[in-house]
Amino acid sequence: MIVLGIETSCDETSAAVVESDATGAHATLRSMVIVSQDVHRLFGGVVPEIASRAHLTSLVPAVRQALADAHLTPGGIDAIAVTCGPGLVGALLVGVSWAKAYAATLDKPVLGVHHMEGHLFAPSLEDPTAEPPFTALLVSGGHTLLLDVPAWGDYRQLGATRDDAAGEAFDKVAKLLGLPYPGGPFIEKLAATVAHPGDVPKAFRFTRPITHGGQRPGDADYYDVSFSGLKTAVLNAVRGSTDIERDRALIARGFQDALIGTLAEKVGRAVEACGRTRVVLGGGVACNRALVNAIQARVGRGVTVHAPSARLATDNAGMIARAGAWRLARGERSGAGLGAFASHPLPGVAAG
């Protein structure tokens, strides 16, 4: 089955072609085009209307290129998978409307895909062993989710953020430090200039949020994370600094150590409680090598950590086509009534 994927939930316009087996269990990426909207850097964050208009301009050329790269004509695709939420509604509407119209023209099925389910499937495009059962940590600009995944489509939510998403925390702290948007890669680079955690002065060794040893499985805070207090601690450190040029990298390192320390601890708890031997990471923050290394160190050598490459960790249509292929193979279809949703429950999710 050949699936055309469309992703327009935020500030990347992407089209991709995925080829899967009849069960949707295995799939390969045949082509992918990602058009990143750099314009938002000028405003320090995504401007929704600009994002929607840019999708409108880029989507058709992106699809044409993805089909050409896969050596396909439009008639060669079997179905279309499109992100229908969560995300910016105006941005989503461009992709959903276009996908429905294209599917109607070609007389092919269309399926709405949950953006975070796409992130969950992304590593399996590069590594077929990144399949359930596994523990999953999804860390993007808008979401932070810790899941136990016994099977595709069966998601047990163990924890989530209580306030800021991990990527949002990176972006806000980057702003406090005077770094460009999106801040994650800049903080990672700056933090790496500090060789050892011990080089960070005490004032910038921030507490790892809600990780104290007294927590037990079943406690509400055993798996949840929270980053707004950490952000405030960084704000106070910046305000208290007498030489921000000297302290910027030290604060970035202290912040990153605290944030990834929390995430690694929560993933470690989930792996132990659920007895999993695989961890799957997804979302833009999964590009952060220090995070991947910290998780690997916490779970030990007996557990494989699957982190997608940067291209598949950040928003892309390959992951949407991949998740769509699995659902389409099960006979799922969306039909002409498909809408776009700012927030949207992950299909098949239950409390862990």
Identity of the residue, 77 or 287, whose beta carbon is nearer to ligand KG4 in the bound complex: 287
* Residue 44's binding partner out of Zn ion, ligand KG4, none, with CB under 5 to 8 Å set by partner kind: none
- How near is the Cβ of 262 to ligand KG4 at its closest, in Å? 14
* Residue 90's binding partner out of ligand KG4, Zn ion, none, with CB under 5 to 8 Å set by partner kind: none
Identity of the residue, 37 or 140, whose beta carbon is nearer to Zn ion in the bound complex: 140
Q: Which residues bind ligand KG4 (CB under 6 A)?
A: 10, 140-142, 167, 170-171, 182-185, 188, 283-285, 287-288, 314-315
Cα–Cα distance, 308 to 1 (Å, whole number): 23
Q: How many CA atoms lie within 13 A of 115 on its CB side?
A: 34
Tokens of 263: 């995430």
Identity of the residue, 103 or 136, whose beta carbon is nearer to ligand KG4 in the bound complex: 136
- How near is the Cβ of 170 to ligand KG4 at its closest, in Å? 4
Phi, psi of 318, deg, nearest 5 = -60, -45
**Apex CA 311: angle with CA 70 and CA 296, to 5°?**
130
- How near is the Cβ of 331 to ligand KG4 at its closest, in Å? 28
Identity of the residue, 109 or 182, whose beta carbon is nearer to ligand KG4 in the bound complex: 182
* Residue 35's binding partner out of ligand KG4, Zn ion, none, with CB under 5 to 8 Å set by partner kind: none
Identity of the residue, 145 or 210, whose beta carbon is nearer to Zn ion in the bound complex: 145
- How near is the Cβ of 246 to Zn ion at its closest, in Å? 35
Identity of the residue, 48 or 229, whose beta carbon is nearer to Zn ion in the bound complex: 48
Q: Which residues bind Zn ion (CB under 5 A)?
A: 140, 315
Closest residue by beta carbon to Zn ion? 140
- How near is the Cβ of 143 to ligand KG4 at its closest, in Å? 7
- How near is the Cβ of 240 to Zn ion at its closest, in Å? 34
* Residue 211's binding partner out of ligand KG4, Zn ion, none, with CB under 5 to 8 Å set by partner kind: none
